[in-house]
Structure 1
Amino acid sequence: MKKVILWSLGLYILFGLFIAWYLFLGANTDIPSNLKGSVADPQTFMNERQLILSEEHSQIKNLLYFLSVPFEWLLYTLILVLGVSAKFRDWAKVSAKFSILQTAIYFFWLSLLVELLSFPFQWVSYKVSKFYNITVQTTNSWMKDFLIDFWVNYALMLLIVGVLFWLIKKSTKRWWFHAWLLSIPFSLFLMFVQPVLIDPLYNDFFPLTNKELETKILELANKADIPADYVYEVNMSEKTNALNAYVTGIGSNSRIVLWDTTLERLDENEILFIMAHEMGHYVMKHIYIGIAGYLLLTLIGLFLISKLMNMIVKRWGKLCKVSSIQDIAVLPLFFLLISVLSFASDPISNAVSRHQEKDADIYALEMTEDNKAAVSSFQELSRAGLSQVNPPFLVKLFRYGHPTMLERISYTNEFQKGEDE
Structure 2
Amino acid sequence: MVRKMGVYAVIAYTLYGLFYYWYLFYFANTSLPFEFQGSQADPTTFLNGRELMLSEEYSKTRNLLFFLSTPLEWLFYFLILIFGLSKAFKKWADEASKNQFLQRAIYLIWLSLFAFAATFPLSYISFSLSKTYNISTQTFASWMKDELIDFWINYGMMLVIVSVLYWLIKKSQKRWWFYAWLLTIPFTLFLMFLQPVIIDPLYNDFYPLKNKELETEILSLAKKANIPADHVYEVNMAEKTNALNAYVTGIGSNSRIVLWDTTLNRLNNDQILFIMAHEMAHYVEKHLYIGIAGYILLSLLGLYLTHRIMEWAMARWGRELKVQGIADIRSFPLLLMILSMFMFAASPFSNMVSRYQENRADQYAIEMMKNPEAAITAFQELTRSGLSQVNPPLLVKIFRYGHPTMLERIARIEQYQFEHRPKE
Greater mean alpha carbon deviation, residues 411-420 or residues 340-349: 411-420
Partner of 1:185: 186
One-letter amino acid of the counterpart of residue 416, structure 1: Q
Task: Quote the offset at 1:6 in angstroms.
Answer: 1.6
Question: Residues 69-218 of structure 1: matches in 2 within 5 Å?
Answer: 69-218=70-219
Question: Residues 344-359 of structure 1: matches in 2 within 5 Å?
Answer: 344-359=345-360
One-letter amino acid of the counterpart of residue 322, structure 1: V
Task: Quote the offset at 1:157 in angstroms.
Answer: 1.1
Q: Distance in 1 between matches of 2:417 and 2:125?
A: 42
Question: Residues 5-404 of structure 1: matches in 2 within 5 Å?
Answer: 5-404=6-405
Q: Distance in 2 between matches of 1:83 and 1:313?
A: 15
One-letter amino acid of the counterpart of residue 364, structure 2: Y
Unaligned runs of 5+ in 2: none
Q: Distance in 2 between matches of 1:95 and 1:308?
A: 32
Task: Quote the offset at 1:319 in angstroms.
Answer: 0.7
Q: Secondary structure at the match of 2:238?
A: helix
Q: Secondary structure at the match of 1:349?
A: helix
Q: Distance in 1 between matches of 2:418 and 2:161?
A: 52
Q: Contact (CA 8 Å) 1:248, 1:255: kept in 2 or not?
A: yes
Q: Contact (CA 8 Å) 1:313, 1:322: kept in 2 or not?
A: yes
One-letter amino acid of the counterpart of residue 17, structure 1: L
Task: Quote the offset at 1:416 in angstroms.
Answer: 2.1
Q: Deviations over 1:123-182 (max 9, x none)?
A: 000000000000000111111111111011100111011111011011111000000000
Q: Deviations over 1:20-41 (max 9, x none)?
A: 0000000010100000000000
Q: Deviations over 1:226-283 (max 9, x none)?
A: 1110000000000000000000000000000000000000000000000000000000
Task: Quote the offset at 1:349 in angstroms.
Answer: 0.1
Task: Quote the offset at 1:412 in angstroms.
Answer: 1.3
Q: Secondary structure at the match of 2:259?
A: strand
Q: Distance in 2 between matches of 1:157 and 1:272?
A: 39
Q: Distance in 1 between matches of 2:69 and 2:210?
A: 40
Q: Secondary structure at the match of 1:272?
A: helix
Q: Distance in 2 between matches of 1:28 and 1:281?
A: 32
Q: Contact (CA 8 Å) 1:86, 1:320: kept in 2 or not?
A: no
One-letter amino acid of the counterpart of residue 4, structure 1: M
Q: Secondary structure at the match of 2:234?
A: strand
Q: Contact (CA 8 Å) 1:241, 1:261: kept in 2 or not?
A: yes
Task: Quote the offset at 1:208 in angstroms.
Answer: 0.2
Task: Quote the offset at 1:61 in angstroms.
Answer: 0.4
Q: Distance in 2 between matches of 1:157 and 1:294?
A: 19
One-letter amino acid of the counterpart of residue 175, structure 2: R
Task: Quote the offset at 1:327 in angstroms.
Answer: 0.4
Q: Secondary structure at the match of 1:236?
A: coil
Unaligned runs of 5+ in 1: none
Task: Quote the offset at 1:121 in angstroms.
Answer: 0.5
Q: Distance in 2 between matches of 1:412 and 1:105?
A: 55
One-letter amino acid of the counterpart of residue 335, structure 2: F
> Percent identity over the alignment?
61
Q: Distance in 2 between matches of 1:23 and 1:267?
A: 35
Q: Distance in 1 between matches of 2:328 and 2:209?
A: 51
Task: Quote the offset at 1:191 in angstroms.
Answer: 0.1
Q: Contact (CA 8 Å) 1:273, 1:373: kept in 2 or not?
A: yes
Task: Quote the offset at 1:387 in angstroms.
Answer: 0.6
Q: Deviations over 1:271-304 (max 9, x none)?
A: 0000000000000000000000000000000000
Q: Secondary structure at the match of 2:241?
A: coil
One-letter amino acid of the counterpart of residue 191, structure 1: M
Q: Contact (CA 8 Å) 1:167, 1:179: kept in 2 or not?
A: yes
Task: Quote the offset at 1:7 in angstroms.
Answer: 1.1
Q: Secondary structure at the match of 2:92?
A: helix
Task: Quote the offset at 1:311 in angstroms.
Answer: 0.6
Q: Distance in 1 between matches of 2:153 and 2:8?
A: 35
Q: Distance in 1 between matches of 2:3 and 2:33?
A: 48
Q: TM-score, normalised by structure 2?
A: 0.99
Q: Distance in 1 between matches of 2:362 and 2:158?
A: 35
